[in-house]
């Protein structure tokens, strides 16, 4: 199903005609907080977005004058909607702080004005989650819309309840997920079907989540590295409060306040920048609909198979080529669907929990989600771009994997709708 004309979501997908034309160069991050206090402008989402953009520019060795494009999702969600809720009453500041721009979302126009970008010829604020944004930026460069783009991704979190549904009723299919909290019962239901189908259980998730927390503690921008650096054990996971059937509180990522930015440019311009270029080989997208009222394991496996095959067809790689694999884990219970669909390290359907019980450590043969994912860093999602970038640039520090790091695949968000990015140290 297509949403945007730039998306590569119609099968059959061939090798992307922009392969190697765009290069991801640099990254920048803000501090990471649990939430905004609603008062301190220096710690607002807009202020943090400016910090992240400046850090990305410095990392690339360029200035605002070198940038001619800004691509982002103003709020981090589809169509620029904010990750955090805006339902709650709060005092608004006097003008010019009487709008949401810079508070619950951050547009390219706001950044252009605040940071003094003078040469912008292309702005798009309507992107989706970070994977789609990276694909959109690569497509914009390949199509000649801009040459040097800043990709922005703000993650807001305001005081109050997170993802509180503002509706007074749940109509139609919404009765299944919305009545019980966003996405919780649905994810638990599908995972329960997975366990019944393959003879496994929730406890076997523990090694995966614990390893992600270990990896995340080595990423300086992680919420846990900055605020809760203590050890998280399998016992902690197994004693986690169940919030839906087969879904623990520790299967859910923790909402945070943070911002990240990336610099992407043409392959030619990348040669003159500060960091080693990482070339975009492919981007693909997807959007599906359940056969019935709720998503099932059959839906999930079919959709993720399509996502994986679409990415393989678009990039020309195989499972054996993937050195750095970063499948999304916002609900930890759905990461196995991606591992099995891509067949990474030979894992087949129903085998992920055996795989977790093996060596998935950073320095082992199967360094899954070397950045820690959302489980290890907080619900900012940007580690799924920053860590593969740093791994391929050989500057991941303590997180640097010991094996080959030449091709990375990053994928997210959901089985029902997602984007996939394939990166390489080689322009192809």
User: Is the model's pLDDT at 226 over the cut of 50?
Assistant: yes
Report the mean per-residue pLDDT for the chain: 92
Say which range, 174-188, 224-238, 292-306, has the weakest mean pLDDT: 174-188
Angle between helices 184-198 and 297-315 (to 10 degrees): 90
Q: Quick check: helix, strand or coil at residue 70?
A: strand
pLDDT of residue 103: 85
- Tokens standing for 97? 């702080």
User: What is the sign of the dihedral through the CA atoms of 230, 234, 239 and 245?
Assistant: positive
Q: Is the pLDDT reported for residue 95 higher than 60?
A: no
The answer to whether residue 128 is domain-embedded is: yes
Evaluate whether residue 68 is within a structural domain.
yes
User: What integer pLDDT is reported at residue 113 of this predicted model?
Assistant: 96
Is pLDDT at 33 greater than 70 in this prediction? yes
Domain assignment of residue 62, yes or no: yes
Residue 426 included in any domain: no
Predicted local distance difference test score (pLDDT) of residue 191: 97
Domain region containing 273: 22-161+256-278
Whether 197 maps to a domain, the answer reads: no
Q: Is 147 within the bounds of a domain?
A: yes
pLDDT category of residue 190 using cuts at 50, 70 and 90 = very high
Average pLDDT over residues 163-192: 76
Residue 37 lies in a domain: yes
Beta-ladder partners of 331:
252
pLDDT at 91 over 90: no
DSSP string, 77-130: SGGG-BSS---S--PPPSTTS-SSBTTTB--HHHHHHHHT-----EEE-B--SH
Residue 241 has pLDDT above 50, yes or no: yes
For the chain, the domain total comes to: 1
Q: With bands split at pLDDT 50, 70 and 90, how would you rate the model's confidence at 85?
A: low
Question: Percent of the chain beyond pLDDT 70?
Answer: 91
pLDDT band at 360 (very low <50, low <70, confident <90, very high): very high
pLDDT of residue 171: 80
Whether residue 112 is contained in a domain is answered as yes
pLDDT for the residue numbered 45:
94
Average pLDDT over residues 146-172: 82
CA dist 407 and 401 (Å) reads 13
pLDDT band for position 89 (cuts 50, 70, 90):
very low
Residue 239 CB contacts under 8 Å (≥ 6 apart), including other chains: none
The pLDDT of residue 98 is 47
Q: For the segment 244-299, what is each residue's pLDDT rounded down to a tens digit?
A: 899 999 999 999 999 999 999 999 999 999 999 999 999 999 999 999 878 999 99
CATH code for the domain of 71 = 3.40.47.10
Q: What is the pLDDT of residue 163?
A: 64
Q: What is the mean pLDDT of residues 397-411?
A: 98
Task: Compute CA 150 distance to the chain's CA centroid, rounded to the nearest angstrom.
Answer: 17
Report the pLDDT averaged over residues 360-379.
98
Query: Tell me, what's the pLDDT at 94?
Result: 53
């Amino acid at each position: 199903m297509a949403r945007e004309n730039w998306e590569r979501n119609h099968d059959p997908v061939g090798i992307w005609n922009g392969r190697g034309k765009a290069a991801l160069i640099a990254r920048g991050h803000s501090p990471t907080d649990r939430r905004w206090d609603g008062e301190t402008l220096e710690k607002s989402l807009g202020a943090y977005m400016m910090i992240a953009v400046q850090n990305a520019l410095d990392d690339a060795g360029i200035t605002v004058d070198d940038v001619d494009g800004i691509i982002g999702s103003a709020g981090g969600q589809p169509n620029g909607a904010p990750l955090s809720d805006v339902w709650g009453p709060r005092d608004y500041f006097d003008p010019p702080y009487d709008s949401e721009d810079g508070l619950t979302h951050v547009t390219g126009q706001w950044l252009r004005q605040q940071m003094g970008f003078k040469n912008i010829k292309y702005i798009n604020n309507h992107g989706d989650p970070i994977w789609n944004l990276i694909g959109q930026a690569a497509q914009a460069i390949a199509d000649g819309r801009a040459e040097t783009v800043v990709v922005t991704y703000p993650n807001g979190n305001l005081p109050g309840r997170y993802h509180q549904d503002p509706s007074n009723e749940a109509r139609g299919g919404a009765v299944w997920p919305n009545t019980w909290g966003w996405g919780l019962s649905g994810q638990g239901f599908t995972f329960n079907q997975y366990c019944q189908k393959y003879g496994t259980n929730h406890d076997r998730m523990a090694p995966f989540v614990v390893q992600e927390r270990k990896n995340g503690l080595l990423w300086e921008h992680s919420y846990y590295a900055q605020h809760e650096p203590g050890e998280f054990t399998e016992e902690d996971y197994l004693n986690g409060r169940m919030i839906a059937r087969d879904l623990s509180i520790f299967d859910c990522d923790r909402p945070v306040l943070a911002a990240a930015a990336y610099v992407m440019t043409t392959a030619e311009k990348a040669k003159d920048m500060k960091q080693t270029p990482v070339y975009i080989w492919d981007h693909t997208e997807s959007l599906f609909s359940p056969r019935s009222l709720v998503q099932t394991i059959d839906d999930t496996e079919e959709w993720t198979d399509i996502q994986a095959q679409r990415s393989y067809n678009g990039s020309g790689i195989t499972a054996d080529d993937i050195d750095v694999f970063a499948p999304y884990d916002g609900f930890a219970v759905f990461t196995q669907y991606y591992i099995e669909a891509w067949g990474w390290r030979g894992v087949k359907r129903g085998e992920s929990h055996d795989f977790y019980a093996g060596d998935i450590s950073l320095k082992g043969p199967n360094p899954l989600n070397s950045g820690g994912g959302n489980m290890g860093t907080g619900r900012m999602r940007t580690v799924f771009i920053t860590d593969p970038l740093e791994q391929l640039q050989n500057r991941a520090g303590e997180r640097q994997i010991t094996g080959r790091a030449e091709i990375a695949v990053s994928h997210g968000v959901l089985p029902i709708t997602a984007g996939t990015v394939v990166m390489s140290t080689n322009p192809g």
